[in-house]
Amino acid sequence: MIIEGLMPLASPARWREVFSRILALSDGQIRFIGLASVLMGLLGLAWLH
């Protein structure tokens, strides 16, 4: 949550622009981004372990 909060804290206008672009994506594109995020998180945890 700390990392996720950095962008709206540092640049709220840019964060709003990025968020509006995300809303324009299709469900499949959003799912792919979610899957990629989960896989990167799991790889990061495995690397740290």
Cα–Cα distance for residue pair 24/36, rounded to 1 Å: 19
pTM above 0.85, yes or no: no
pLDDT at position 23 over 80: yes
Interval 5-19: pLDDT, tens: 888 899 999 989 988
Q: What's the pLDDT score for residue 26?
A: 94
Hunting for tokens 């995300």 — which residue is that? 22
Q: What's the pLDDT score for residue 6?
A: 87
Q: Are 25 and 32 in contact (CB under 8 A)?
A: no
